[in-house]
Chain A
Amino acid sequence: MRQFKLAFLALGFGLLVASPALAADPMFDQSRLHECKLELDPADWAALRANFQTNQYYAANLTIDGETVRQVGIRSRGAGSRSGEKPGLKVDFNKYVSGQEFHGYKSVVLDNVTQDPSMMRELLANSVFEAVGIPAPQIAFCRLTINTDFWGLYTLIESVSKPFLKSRLGEESGTLYDYEYTDDYRFTYKGDSLDAYVPVPFEPQTNEGKLDTGLSEFIKAINQTPQSGYAAAMETYIDVKKFLTHLAVENACAEYDGLVGQFGLNNFFLYQYGGQKKFVFIPWDKDTSFQATVWAVQHRMDTNEFTKRLMLDPAMKSYYESEVKRIATSFVTTAFLGGKIDTFANLIRASVSADTHKPFSSADFEASVSGLKGIMAGRAANVLSQVP
């Protein structure tokens, strides 16, 4: 009977933390190294590399694991990762062909992974987000060939767009904002007008022509809601505990460029549910996770208007710290991620070595992989030393 109760509780807990239905497209199967090939005019590729700071599109045919989608639009992408040597690419299937989709997706990202010598940090971090029930984009390794030339090891990433919203959040009618980093912004109030926040830094990706004032109301509430009953009042706009879990993942994973990033807010999408005032944060570009074993649980939580106010509430602070502890001891561990690190390293090692466009050496790759293992081995203990 006791075993039954435990099993029941475990099932209940599992349901609470289970990730919303993951599409599990074979294109993002992490157990294999995918083959991606872009066929395009060599002059266009030269132009994309020369003008990598622009968003000029070029037509190409993309083949993934032998399956070809014709006349896609590709452009250079990224912020700090933009590169002419090894361009990161956004692939839009419907740029030139109205309504064209590939496996149900309208776009994917070919990430150049130039900021992570281990090349696997984003995969590891996203798996932690998924493990705690926060939908994160699917991602897998691929070898990219441009016409006949091997261009390096990339990651193939699911775009955060309507198909993602529908499959992971259950609806797509709301407004999706892509946070485009321009300067150090931390949810400070800049006025009631939506224009103060849109399109910079919050760039709408859906409902562009019919935005409501939900975002400016949300930011106003972050700043002007009285501290007494703050968390309860913010429930109007966001699932506060889920948001704290999102923050807990970032600090458990020692992420330095996220919601409480070193340079202000960065690397997320913000979605406002259709017909509601409620928002949810979606993680993005987590290749700066796992920076160190020793990382404060409250790292920079006082630098962001929203997190600062929440941490002034003892109950919320306690919940947040318990989440960091749970995540660090359950998922940022050798038991949960160690096997993935070895598997990924073995999967990509030869391609990393052959990748002559990467901005680091193969020795850097090996050192970074070793460093990751060290972080997994020691991170939980460090968190427990802060939150016994």
Chain B
Amino acid sequence: MSMSQRCFHRTAVVVALAAALAAPVAAQDAAPGKAEKAEKKAPAETREGWHRDGFALKNGKSKIELAGYLQEDFRNFDWAVNGDETGTEQGAEHELRRLRVGVKAEFGKMSLEFVTDPRNSQKGDRLKDVTVGYAFSKQFTLLVGHFKPPVGQEFLTSASKTDYVERSMIGSRLVPDREWGAAASGELGVVEYSVGAFAGDGSSASQSAGTSGAARLTLKIAKGLSLSGSLMQGTVEPDPRVGSSEPSPKGASGVTATKFTFWNRAHVNGTRRRMGADVNFTRGAFRLQGEYLENREQRKGQGSTGQDIPDVRGRGWSAQAGFVLVGARKGSTVEPKKSVFAGGAGALEVVARAEALKFDDTGAASGFAGYGNRARNIAPSGSSNIQAGVNYWASNFMKLQGSAIWESYNDPLIAPQPGKTGRYMAYIARVQFMIP
């Protein structure tokens, strides 16, 4: 299939799915007026017997609902990567970024979820969330299946609800991936907890560690203010050498929102530990979030002569603020008071973020500092950026996002154009259709 055919095919898929959603969207968007009137006439009550409600089937407190969303991304750059003949060092100008389809169900205290990405291009990573949960009490819920280990604030936020087209670098590069496991969670007064055991830290990733444990605690300090800490630890084994082929390194990689790789994976062996802390402050239309995350990996026997070498460490932070100009903040997202399809204005939020991520080893910076993936003294490399963006919800079914990104790099050699640390300007936009 040629490039133009692929583009046409992808565009056709987007249009078809958008059209499929459009009808119920219009119906749903038109409905609130009638529903509001109905609500005024009669107090809300739980209807008995299975019945359709939007994309859900409900029966009392039980429900089965469709879940999913679609994201098409568009990127524009004012720079190119030197020597990038394969076009892999910079994000595509447009792509169908995510497609999720699935179903969620609740039967009393039991919950079920199955979400997948059906695209052929996602073969091997199609399975997203597959869970069975049981809420024994508010203090203790058990979740078993394939899901995200509880690490990091933005990582745990659905990609359909993030304030930016791309998660922060720490929220995308230092975090685990979905994994098979079990976790307990609940609320104990002002403390929320989640603790789990997992088969690894990324079921579809060849860099995955072995059995890992993860925990996250959130302290609700005051109304709208919370402080959280996360920890995940496992043991990663090096890729074995097969014949004369070199093993693949399993360490973390550093990639920016524009897809430029500023840090290649190192060979690691031993403990992989992630530690993080984040703070969240929300008051009315305003939200402020800060996050720190660190990923440290041992390199036992990974020196060029098989010697132990200092750990490799990636650590970074992000600070972001958002203000809802139109609409209302609800949980991790924003909802329009009235959709544009019902004559409303939708919802509008402006956001800004600063972030940085840097990799280095934990040893003394003595002798030759190299870029090699078995270097004892690693030449440090990092990237930082400032973003400003706008999020617009036409309705609960359609969201438009746009971000301007100014990226810069610590090492002038490890930059899209060697010798120039920055700033590199890019614009990223997203059209998203979702089942709310």
1/0 per residue, CB under 8 A from A, across B107-138: the answer is 00000000000000000000000000000000
> Complex: how many Å from CA A84 to CA B56?
69
Can you sample 6 A-B contacts with CB below 8 Å?
A41-B367, A44-B374, A58-B374, A59-B368, A59-B370, A59-B379
> Complex: how many Å from CA A228 to CA B426?
62
> Complex: how many Å from CA A96 to CA B375?
12
> Complex: how many Å from CA A100 to CA B419?
10
Contact in complex: A41, B370 (CB < 8 Å) = yes
Q: Do A98 and B418 form a contact, CB below 8 Å, given A56-B246, A71-B379?
A: yes
> Complex: how many Å from CA A42 to CA B377?
11
1/0 per residue, CB under 8 A from A, across B383-417: the answer is 00000000000000000000000000000011011
Contact in complex: B81, A41 (CB < 8 Å) = no
- The yes or no answer to B307 lying at the interface (CB within 8 A) is yes
B interface, how many residues as a size bin? 20 to 34
Chain B neighbourhood of A100, CB < 8 A:
82-83, 413, 418
In angstroms, how far is the closest chain A Cβ from the Cβ of B408? 16
Number of A residues with CB within 8 Å of any CB on chain B: 29
Chain B neighbourhood of A44, CB < 8 A:
304, 368, 370, 372, 374-375
In angstroms, how far is the closest chain A Cβ from the Cβ of B435? 38
Apart from A54-B244, A56-B246, A98-B89, list 5 A-B contacts with CB within 8 A: A43-B307, A58-B370, A97-B418, A98-B84, A99-B82
- The yes or no answer to B68 lying at the interface (CB within 8 A) is no
Contact in complex: A97, B414 (CB < 8 Å) = yes
What are the 9 tightest A-B residue pairs by CB atom distance, in nearest-first order?
A: A99-B82, A99-B83, A59-B370, A47-B304, A96-B371, A59-B372, A59-B371, A44-B304, A41-B368
> Complex: how many Å from CA A57 to CA B375?
11
Contact in complex: A57, B372 (CB < 8 Å) = yes
- The yes or no answer to B303 lying at the interface (CB within 8 A) is yes
Contact in complex: B418, A43 (CB < 8 Å) = no
1/0 per residue, CB under 8 A from A, across B285-308: the answer is 000000000000000000111010
Q: A53 — nearest CB in chain B belongs to which residue?
A: B244
- The yes or no answer to B353 lying at the interface (CB within 8 A) is no
Chain A neighbourhood of B416, CB < 8 A:
98
> Complex: how many Å from CA A26 to CA B166?
47
> Complex: how many Å from CA A193 to CA B307?
45
In angstroms, how far is the closest chain B Cβ from the Cβ of A136? 25
- The yes or no answer to B376 lying at the interface (CB within 8 A) is yes
- The yes or no answer to A61 lying at the interface (CB within 8 A) is yes
Q: Do A50 and B372 form a contact, CB below 8 Å, given A56-B246, A70-B413?
A: no
> Complex: how many Å from CA A57 to CA B264?
14
Chain A neighbourhood of B417, CB < 8 A:
99
> Complex: how many Å from CA A44 to CA B378?
13
Q: Do A99 and B81 form a contact, CB below 8 Å, given A54-B244, A56-B246?
A: yes
> Complex: how many Å from CA A46 to CA B264?
23
- The yes or no answer to A165 lying at the interface (CB within 8 A) is no
Chain B neighbourhood of A96, CB < 8 A:
264, 371-372, 414
In angstroms, how far is the closest chain A Cβ from the Cβ of B182? 41
Q: A98 — nearest CB in chain B belongs to which residue?
A: B83
> Complex: how many Å from CA A39 to CA B244?
27
Chain B neighbourhood of A106, CB < 8 A:
83
Contact in complex: A39, B368 (CB < 8 Å) = yes
Contact in complex: B84, A47 (CB < 8 Å) = no
> Complex: how many Å from CA A224 to CA B83?
41
1/0 per residue, CB under 8 A from B, across A6-49: the answer is 00000000000000000000000000000000011111101110
Within the complex, which residue of B246, B303, B371, B372 is in contact with A54, where a contact is CB–CB below 8 Å? B246
Q: Which of A75-114 contact B (CB under 8 A)?
A: 94, 96-101, 106
Q: B307 — nearest CB in chain A belongs to which residue?
A: A43
Q: Do A43 and B370 form a contact, CB below 8 Å, given A99-B81, A99-B84, A100-B418?
A: no
Which of B367, B414, B418 has the most C-beta atoms of chain A within 10 angstroms of its own C-beta?
Answer: B418
Contact in complex: A50, B84 (CB < 8 Å) = no
Contact in complex: A41, B379 (CB < 8 Å) = no
> Complex: how many Å from CA A98 to CA B370?
15
Chain B neighbourhood of A94, CB < 8 A:
83
In angstroms, how far is the closest chain A Cβ from the Cβ of B151? 30
- The yes or no answer to A60 lying at the interface (CB within 8 A) is yes
> Complex: how many Å from CA A73 to CA B417?
18
Contact in complex: B370, A40 (CB < 8 Å) = yes
> Complex: how many Å from CA A44 to CA B166?
38
Chain B neighbourhood of A70, CB < 8 A:
413
Q: B80 — nearest CB in chain A belongs to which residue?
A: A99
Chain A neighbourhood of B372, CB < 8 A:
44, 57-59, 73, 96
